[in-house]
Structure 1
């Protein structure tokens, strides 16, 4: 891709300047400018620019309406960019040249800053392409709801157009779509109405199906986003997010010992989930975009919600050997074949944790002593320490 080719040839200091935050900020600025300028040109007709004599007035008016609409669409794509979604990057990349073209067609002096900003923003968007790599995951319910909404609008549009002779005011396919959208959304301006019994029955079906499809679509598409925002604030994951977990590392507990584990897993780009009953820690982890589930790591319910049956391995690190043992027992009971690794803060509890069901138990005190000696003598000067570390 062009963006990757240019990025690889940029000096290192320039790569720091071109950030994802700049891409999101520019996209939002273009979106707001497109909306404002579109509304200004609709209301006032704008101040004619050099291109005005070459662009039909009807095209200028249409470009004003569509420019405002494109601006609102770009607000959505910018918000998707903020979440790091690849779909948001593609949507913004397609909308940027569209806003520039609409600015030119508006042929107003107000529109030229929009054209310039759109063209300037595109290289920044291309240079940050690799930063937007998160996929957009839609559930079967969401796909079905979106399909139902589109299907009802198509049914109403083509049905009304086919029955155009039985309606007052439907002459084109656009009229039919307008009638369907206004009717199914229950706005009903009354400028288009049925004149025969067949048209009345058809209009009733459009109302019923339209209201149902709008309600289902809002519940399925918007509801999870609201739930996810509330869940993130409370430091928990939604059931739809938990359903996607597979072959992940399950980290039970959170504390001073767990933070390096979380950092290591994040740096390794591993899929993992932290289960902790510390609500403050859960909220903090969630703000860092780390998957977290609020609950007791030694209870069956949270571990089942955390999809322990799909987990690749379980790391137990509650900073308390007794709590570790309970968590290990619960995890082993729910998933006899999973690999469980834990740490013992007290060396005497190593054997107890192994009897509880842990496959590997790391003694922090013993390992710390080995590392101190190795650091003092040098790794090559202490083969005994090396063998001890390998045995750990």
Structure 2
């Protein structure tokens, strides 16, 4: 189970975040601390028992000391036993009173952590899950995952539409600072993906840092959501085919892409610059993908007016602007076009 982690409104609508300390250990430490503070008070009261007066039988026994200490710490104070010497009164004022405050705070903190907070977290988790729809799930918030989130935000995706799954609390804190919902958990587990409502997501980004982990996440996602688009990052060329077989819609190899940029730079000093410009949001140009509009049906790909159309996808198959299929657009076609960047006005 994970404890919300993760913003104040929807920004910190963390689903759950798991405490690293077992519940029994945390409770045990609190019990020992309370017993230790109580033991100190009992010891001092017993040592200075002559400063106490028992209005019942006039004799202050060890049982009376325990009784007086407990009712003093719990602020009950029946008055049958009372401090009468200056030293006993000073001890009660300067030592027992702070101990009383610490014990009360410990009890309140324990009640909050193990009762109120858990109830509150479960309620928030249900509320967040109810509102999760058409969101983007990012599995892994390392270098590539965080850059992907930055690019999504730069392209206009709202932070509350992004859910980040990672096992690193530090990574989740960075994701939370961007306004994303976060969950500290294992993305390869069915329950984790069910918690983030993977079946209602519009896209999944997988960047687990290891190819085997990423492919396993893809398999798990595809098992739970048969149609959600999955983009996965793999570093070994041999694993690209495995990722596709696992159900990935898009497989990205940063090594291969870097090789393309390096090779392109050998054929012209500006090719690599233009390719990088297309991939980034803050460049002069960018790539955009959309569905053909009703007005464009029947027209050639070159007649698209919103940008420079460079590729057509029909039933999942790609066609270039020079191919016969691009001479007449059909309903349901997807087009890739080059449009001005967001900073070009």
Structure label with greater radius of gyration:
2
Q: Which has the higher contact order (CA 8 A, sep 6+)?
A: 2
Q: TM-score range by the shorter chain?
A: 0.3 to 0.5
Give 1 or 2: higher helix fraction: 1
Give 1 or 2: higher strand fraction: 2
TM-score, normalised to structure 2's length?
0.42
TM-score, normalised to structure 1's length?
0.37
